[in-house]
Amino acid sequence: MAIRAVREIGDEILKKRSKAVTKMTLRTKILIEDMFDTMYEQMGVGLAAPQVGILKRIVTIDVGDGPILLINPEIVEVSGEQTGEEACLSVPGKCGVVTRPDYVKVKALDQDMQEIVLEGEGLLARAFCHEIDHLDGQLYVELVEGELRDTRAEEEEE
């Protein structure tokens, strides 16, 4: 088990486009394990490899229904719309409202580099979009409607 440092907004690596994974190596397997460890330790619902400083198209997600690994994910179908709060481990203490599709179908590779197709609704659809954006160097803060809010201040008010 290894926890990796999460890069934060302002770090140039978060703006870069990640490269496709062409073969599964021991190094990549260790990266995937570390990404899950880091995501769970930080209590995130998703993590993309560039957030730990590695420009590879790898995403880990768990919205509460178990771990999901996506390698070289592509969105192949979207429908509907949802508007809700989003946050990111790379933007600590902040949240903001983002509109995303309510249904997202993704095509990706699994740990054995076999093609998988996954469908998500609600939070999972949102996580697919948010994490795949990271692979293209985009942070949700660019999509926020209105103000990026401080979650810590809200907790203090309660």
Name which of 21 and 131 has its Cβ closer to Ni ion: 131
Q: How far is the CB of 154 from Ni ion (least distance, A)?
A: 19
Query: Token pair of 44, please?
Result: 């995130």
Binding residues for Ni ion, total number by CB under 5 A? 1
Distance CA 127, CA 89 (A): 13
Closer residue to Ni ion (CB): 48 or 108: 48
The C-alpha atoms of residue 50 and residue 6 are separated, in whole angstroms, by 9
Segment interacting with Ni ion, rule: CB under 5 A, options 70-78, 82-90, 102-110, 113-121: 82-90
CB-closest chain residue to Ni ion? 88
Nearer to Ni ion (CB atom), residue 88 or residue 108: 88
131 catalytically annotated: yes
Beta strands in the chain (DSSP E): 46-48, 58-61, 68-79, 82-86, 94-100, 103-109, 115-121, 145-150
Site for Ni ion in 85-114 (CB under 5 A): 88
Q: Which stretch binds Ni ion (CB under 5 A): 9-17, 81-89, 99-107, 116-124?
A: 81-89
Residues 23/24/30/33 CA torsion (nearest 10 deg) = 110
* Span near Ni ion by CB under 5 A; candidates 29-37, 64-72, 80-88, 116-124: 80-88
Strand order in the sheet with 115-121: 46-48, 58-61, 68-79, 103-109, 115-121
Among the listed residues 131, 145, 154, 156, the single catalytic one is 131
Cα dihedral sign, 42-16-141-99: negative
C-alpha distances (whole Å) from 111 to each of 55, 68, 132 are 17, 10, 17
Toward Ni ion, which CB reaches closer, 24 or 151? Answer: 151
Residue 88 CB, shortest distance to Ni ion, in Å, is: 3
Return residues touching Ni ion (CB under 5 A). 88
Which amino acids are annotated catalytic? 131
